[in-house]
Structure 1
Amino acid sequence: MRGEEVLKVSVLNIVGTDFQKGRQMGREFKKTSTCTEIEAIKAFGNGVDAEKARSALSEFVPHLLEEMAGFAEGMDWELESVLKSFSGFDIELPPMGCTALVDHSGKYYRNYDFHHKLYDGRIFINHSEDHYTSIGFSQHRLGRLDGMNEKGLVVGLHFVNSERGGIGFVAPIIVRMLLDLCSNLDEACEFLQVLPHKYCYNYSMTDASGKSIIVETSPQGCNAIKESPLACTNHFRSEAMRGWNRQNIIGSMNRWHYANQLLEPFLKPREMFQHFNQPTSPLFFKDYNHFFGTLHSVVYSPKELTATISIGAKCEPRILSLEKIITDQTLPFTEINGVLEPGE
């Protein structure tokens, strides 16, 4: 990446039965994806056992199995291929960075740092009569990097380690499951305890109560850290889970300490968001070529059910009201654009 690039993120309303929504997303993916992107996604799922993925989905989230059947039809793929590449079960994913903070008022601030060529660039409002409607940034279309549902549950993922993987679900599909099925922190924590986890991830969460929690997850168990307010990055903090951390967590520790300092002065929401979405902030990164550039900044407000979104740099924050979209069934805009500025 040599000069500035415009990053465009689409906002899409997904309505219908699970099969219909899957078909809609499959058609959109087929229409907008390049051959290179499709081949890269296929490569992530090369070692996946489709039948094991089908069985796991059937046990924990059968509605996603229906959605994947629709996705297969929309893509003109066999369901087995979709299960391998999009089920989120036992697939390989590269490391990604994230910083999140829940302030004293219960607002959830988050940056997602990764490589723009492996970024969906999609915000989905996923409507449903059978599970919770949600808004969130997608990963591999069917998973979510972060999001908020109609009950005010907010969830974000934080990569910790993939060196000692197990057999289970990867984080983006787990975030999607939590948003679909859980209404509050207690339900989300309980669900995380029973799920099989492939890699080590933190899940930072808050809900309409204003309370917040981090759940540290590994292939061999979970640990909950209840903190209100909280800051979360890409390492485990509890004594029981520290042994799963990568050898070098200096960058993650530095971001965590900086985010914690922001909780002390009781900053106004606009001032707090500037610490996330301004390129001069220690929480904003430009190393896109090495998978550590800030792609989106977002503030989820569980009590108001709003998402304030900024893409890359030089982007005036845009606000989406989940409550209003549910009521009106329309979007105030369908695209948000920002700029990626490469580092020195």
Structure 2
Amino acid sequence: MEPFQVDILQLRKRPYETGVALGKHVKHKPIFNILNRVTKPEVDIQNVEQIFSTYSPHLIEELHGLSESLEIPYKKTAAMFSGYDVPKFQAMGCSAYMTDSYYVRNYDFSPVLYDHVFSLLDNEQSFASAGYNLQVIGRHDGVNERGLVIGLHFVSFNDFQIGVSAWTAVRIVLDCCKTIEDAVSLLKEIPHAACYNFSIADEAGQKAVVEASPSKVVVRDGEGEVSLACVNHFSSKEMRDKNRTQIERSIKREKYIKTLQDLSIGQNEVVERFKEKESPLFFTDYDEFFGTLHTFSYSFKTKNIVTCLAGSTDELSFDFHQWCLGKDLAEQSLYGNIER
């Protein structure tokens, strides 16, 4: 068993100050040196700023704050943390289940390439949000103050191009979008680097899977369906040719998730189905970049976030609406255990 910890950061600051705080936190963490090694020395800074200026100008300020606190050039900061023109990483998994009442998902990858940060952000330039960080300013998944939830699901590198990473896209959606319609519109405009599914749901009871590639974006809106599953392959006829050759495990997970609909169970019970080690949705192939790292869920009715790390018997459960109103969490960390 390997102890596994995630820090909880609560930042009610302006974007530049948020960047400074994130930089101070990550400066002496292993992920900083890893990102320094695996990202490019520089990227097209004009393209980065053009995209951010169009959709989320506050992220430029955040990058400048990171640059100051990390004491590295701004252009290097953009290359390491903007999520633009990033290297390819294979084998990411993720499973999500969405109903009118709640959203639940697992994130599967490697603890080596994991920020180990769950952040809650609030500033005047964007919607308040809570979620797990990826490449410091990006997000694996999360929810914003308008009750919009989103998570990423890797599909393939077909049509790969220089563009915006899925985790930066998730962050921009959380920062800027009120509804699924807003999120879908934005995801149709962003220049995607690779093929990803985005599982999205909102407090109006709408849910959708956005199948996004660099060349095309297709939406499965789940209209008329009680629930919707999202895993790591494209299901629409228009996008199936972009799937990886081997998608059997993804299909198997999807079939299991669909059986949950017949059980008529609530958020907490579904969380248990996702996080238990015996679950078809829980994996321990960490050395192959396919191990479960966290479970994240949100209730649209109670506005409650329930989340936990792999191997944890304890869950972090709190009213996100109350946090947005100014009630900070007492917890500073999440704990789990990785069993290889």
TM-score range, shorter chain: over 0.9
TM-score, reference length from structure 2: 0.95
* Cα distance per residue 1:138-180 (max 9 Å; x no partner): 0011000000000000000000011430221010000000000
Report how far residue 121 of structure 1 moved.
1.0
- Aligned-partner SS, 1:264: helix
Partner of 2:22: 25
Worse-matched range after superposition: 287-296 or 38-47: 38-47
Matches within 5 A, 1:133-212: 133-212=128-207
CA distance in 1, matches of 2:328, 2:267: 27
- Answering whether residue 48 of structure 2 is matched by residue 53 of structure 1, we say yes
Matches within 5 A, 1:328-339: 328-339=326-337
Matches within 5 A, 1:230-309: 230-309=228-307
- Aligned-partner SS, 2:274: helix
- Aligned-partner SS, 2:162: coil
Partner of 1:80: 75
Report how far residue 268 of structure 1 moved.
3.1
Identity fraction in percent: 32
The 1:163–1:223 alpha-carbon spacing in structure 2 relative to 1, beyond 3 Å, is: closer
Contact 2:155 2:196 in 1 (8 A): yes
- Runs of 4+ in structure 1 over 4 Å off: none
Partner of 1:100: 96
CA distance in 2, matches of 1:259, 1:285: 15
Contact 1:167 1:219 in 2 (8 A): no
CA distance in 1, matches of 2:286, 2:34: 21
CA distance in 1, matches of 2:185, 2:268: 34
The 1:64–1:40 alpha-carbon spacing in structure 2 relative to 1, beyond 3 Å, is: closer
Report how far residue 41 of structure 1 moved.
3.9
**Please, which of 4, 9, 20 is the counterpart of residue 7 of structure 1?**
4
Contact 2:298 2:306 in 1 (8 A): yes
TM-score, reference length from structure 1: 0.94
CA distance in 2, matches of 1:174, 1:108: 19
Worse-matched range after superposition: 162-171 or 152-161: 162-171
Contact 1:106 1:211 in 2 (8 A): no
Worse-matched range after superposition: 48-57 or 135-144: 48-57
Q: RMSD of the TM alignment (CA)? A: 1.5
In the alignment, structure 1 segments of 5+ residues that lack a partner are: none
- Aligned-partner SS, 1:263: helix
The 1:42–1:48 alpha-carbon spacing in structure 2 relative to 1, beyond 3 Å, is: farther
Report how far residue 37 of structure 1 moved.
4.3
The 1:93–1:136 alpha-carbon spacing in structure 2 relative to 1, beyond 3 Å, is: farther
In the alignment, structure 2 segments of 5+ residues that lack a partner are: none
Contact 1:54 1:83 in 2 (8 A): no
Worse-matched range after superposition: 229-238 or 122-131: 122-131
- Aligned-partner SS, 1:127: strand
- Answering whether residue 316 of structure 2 is matched by residue 324 of structure 1, we say no
Report how far residue 50 of structure 1 moved.
2.7
- Aligned-partner SS, 2:307: strand
Report how far residue 265 of structure 1 moved.
1.7
- Aligned-partner SS, 1:52: helix
